[in-house]
């Protein structure tokens, strides 16, 4: 059964002569426990596709079904709740909250999801330990290196045990050593928790960790590369 399904998905920005067809009738399915890479050159529609699938933006036409729910039929408020409960996010520039320290950043999604304070603290510390960053639990984002910030933000994304984590260029701001660590971490977490990762990247070496690669050009998925049978 598909965890994510997109049917005839299109996104058009603007109108008249300045109109841009960012996504052109895309169909796809993503299954539980997969690592998917959306690979393509700048401007090919990768971020637009990710934002639509995650319910962060609204398609011009088409349907998106996540875990059996047609998210295109939800109100903004319902979508926000659905995201908080079912999805985690990882970004190129980490998007940690600067006035919260590492452990507080990891706790925040849990507190918004009705975990108790003590439960959220316990789980945040466990996740920081798992990601080898527990010794930096009291540090603020500005005091952390890029690689450290990305590990905190992965702990944050995992905190509410989502089935799916969306990652937009997760290694884009990291040096090659840290990028390699983050790739290995994604492989490990996918294995251990069965979390589905959908990773937008223009970097073929990041796409190598995926079991399927959706290659995009000009708003279309022009090729699906199957790395191995699951």
Q: Read off the tokens for 102.
A: 């590492």
| Ramachandran class of 4: left when φ > 0, alpha when ψ lies in -120 to 50, beta otherwise | beta
The minimum distance between CB 99 and ligand ADP, in angstroms, equals 25
Q: Closer CB to ligand ADP, residue 41 or residue 208?
A: 41
Cα 8 from Cα 24, distance rounded (Å)? 8
Q: What distance lies between CA 19 and its chain's CA centroid?
A: 28
Query: Which CB sits closer to ligand ADP, 43 or 146?
Result: 43
**Please, which residue, 31 or 140, has the CB nearer to ligand ADP?**
31
Q: Single out the residue of 5, 48, 150, 178 in contact with ligand ADP (rule: CB under 6 A).
A: 48
Q: Which residues of 90-123 are buried (b: 16+ CB within 10 A; e: fewer)?
A: bbbebebeeeebbbbbbbbbbbeeebeeeebbeb
Asked if 193 touches ligand ADP (CB under 6 A), the answer is yes
Shortest separation between residue 69's beta carbon and ligand ADP, angstroms: 19
Residue 45 engages ligand ADP in binding (rule: CB under 6 A): yes
Torsion on CA atoms 116, 118, 122, 125, rounded to nearest 10: 100
Q: Does 37 bind ligand ADP (CB under 6 A)?
A: no
Q: Where are the alpha helices (DSSP H) in 61-203?
A: 76-86, 102-112, 117-130, 146-158, 176-193
Residues in 59-98 at the binding interface with ligand ADP, rule: CB under 6 A: none
Note whether 46 binds ligand ADP by CB under 6 A: yes
Q: Which residues contact 190 (CB under 8 A, 6 or more apart)?
A: 33, 35, 196, 197
Among 47, 63, 92, 181, binds ligand ADP (CB under 6 A): 47
Binding residue for ligand ADP, selected from 3, 4, 6, 22, defined by CB under 6 A: 22
Q: Which residues bind ligand ADP (CB under 6 A)?
A: 13-14, 20, 22, 40, 42-48, 123, 126, 158, 161, 193, 195
């Amino acid at each position: 059964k598909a965890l994510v399904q997109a049917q005839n998905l299109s996104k058009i920005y603007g109108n008249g002569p300045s109109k841009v067809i960012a996504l052109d009738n895309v169909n796809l399915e993503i299954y539980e426990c997969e690592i998917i890479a959306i690979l393509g050159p700048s401007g090919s529609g990768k971020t637009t596709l990710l934002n639509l699938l995650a319910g962060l933006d609204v398609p011009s036409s088409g349907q998106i079904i996540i875990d059996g729910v047609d998210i295109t039929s939800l109100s903004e408020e319902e979508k926000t709740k659905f995201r908080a409960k079912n999805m985690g996010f990882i970004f190129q520039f980490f998007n940690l909250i600067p006035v919260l320290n590492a452990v507080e950043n990891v706790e925040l999604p849990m507190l918004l999801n009705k975990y108790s304070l003590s439960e959220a603290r316990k789980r945040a510390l466990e996740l920081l330990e798992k990601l080898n960053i527990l010794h930096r639990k009291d540090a603020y984002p500005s005091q952390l290196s890029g690689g450290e910030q990305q590990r905190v933000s992965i702990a944050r994304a995992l905190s509410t045990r989502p089935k799916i984590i969306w990652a937009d260029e997760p290694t884009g701001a990291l040096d090659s050593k840290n990028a390699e660590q983050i790739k290995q971490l994604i492989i490990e977490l996918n294995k251990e928790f069965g979390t589905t990762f959908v990773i937008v990247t223009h970097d073929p070496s990041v796409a190598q960790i995926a079991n399927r690669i959706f290659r995009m050009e000009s708003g279309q998925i022009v090729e699906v590369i199957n790395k191995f049978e699951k």
